[in-house]
Amino acid sequence: MRLKSIICCLALALTLLGTSLNVRAAGKGDAPFTLVIDAGHGGKDKGCHGKKEYEKDITLDVARRFRDLVKKNCADSVNVVMTRDTDVFVPLDGRARIANDAQGDLFVSIHVNSVDYKAKNRASVHGASVYTVGLHKSAANLSVAMRENAVIELEEDFTETYQGFDPNSSESYIIFELGQNHAMAQSIEYASLAQGQLVATAGRADKGVRQAGFLVLWATRMPAVLVELDFICNPAAERFLGSAEGKQKCAQALYNAFADYRKLTAKN
């Protein structure tokens, strides 16, 4: 590994670890719980796409439906913050900053998965996964993080902002060995509940709770997960994700998991 890339990675690790060490306690007395909902992509960053649907539109729609369910059912006890509520581009570090400034208690980033155009399983791969930040255990997990992190290349000065982090170089991902330890148990708690609900309520195939190096999760100072609802490159999954019914089921799954998470964390 090149020395320069190690130094860049460690510099970024120390900078971001400095923020991630200041994880907020789960309980804030009587203060409302702050849920940060992050609709992936937006504006010039369309995310991945199928034959007619774009990831950025699906994530925003599901995020709004999730927010509306929380507001309808927990208006008195939960404050919802959206990192975007329109079709605008928000940089990854900007998303984390919004969450940290709001002193969020849980960060849920909503995305849609895809595989390479040349992949033989492009039309057949399907299923939901919920990720927490960490070192990937498979090439497939790494490729999902690489694709989601590559949006920083749309930012001006991304080399400076992310201190030399190269989203396309596996060497850069060494920083995620350090994980997000303080919030990891709660992150996995919500990830497991959301994964279960995406199967039970939204009818998605179970591709399991996973770990990979997502910059947006790394930079948040609270329990944080990234949801990949299903694969937009699969025609049947694209139809589901493009339908109002499919989006509502996904939102309901994330809400049900949130309601269960609140019950569990309120006891601690």
| 40 in contact with Zn ion (CB under 5 A) | yes
| Binding of Zn ion by 95 (CB under 5 A) | no
Do residues 89 and 131 touch, judged by C-beta distance below 8 A?
no
**Whole-angstrom Cα distance, residue 15 to residue 31?**
29
Number of residues that bind Zn ion (CB under 5 A): 4
Q: What's the 3-state SS for 8-65? A: HHHHHHHHHHHHHCCCCCCCCCCCCEEEEEEECCECCECCCECCCCEHHHHHHHHHHH
* Residue 47 near Zn ion by CB under 5 A: yes
Q: Residue 86 — left, alpha, or beta (φ > 0 → left; ψ -120 to 50 → alpha)? A: beta
Kindly indicate which of the ranges 10-18, 36-44, 69-77, 86-94 contains the residues binding Zn ion, using the contact rule CB under 5 A.
36-44
Q: How far is the CB of 41 from Zn ion (least distance, A)?
A: 6
Interaction of residue 213 with Zn ion, rule CB under 5 A: no
Map residues 53-92 to x or -, x wherever contact with Zn ion holds by CB under 5 A.
Answer: ----------------------------------------
Does residue number 50 form part of the binding site for Zn ion (CB under 5 A)? no
Task: Return the number of the residue (48 or 78) whose C-beta is nearest Zn ion.
Answer: 48
Q: Which residues in 106-125 contact Zn ion (CB under 5 A)?
A: 111
Residues that bind Zn ion (CB under 5 A): 40, 47, 111, 148
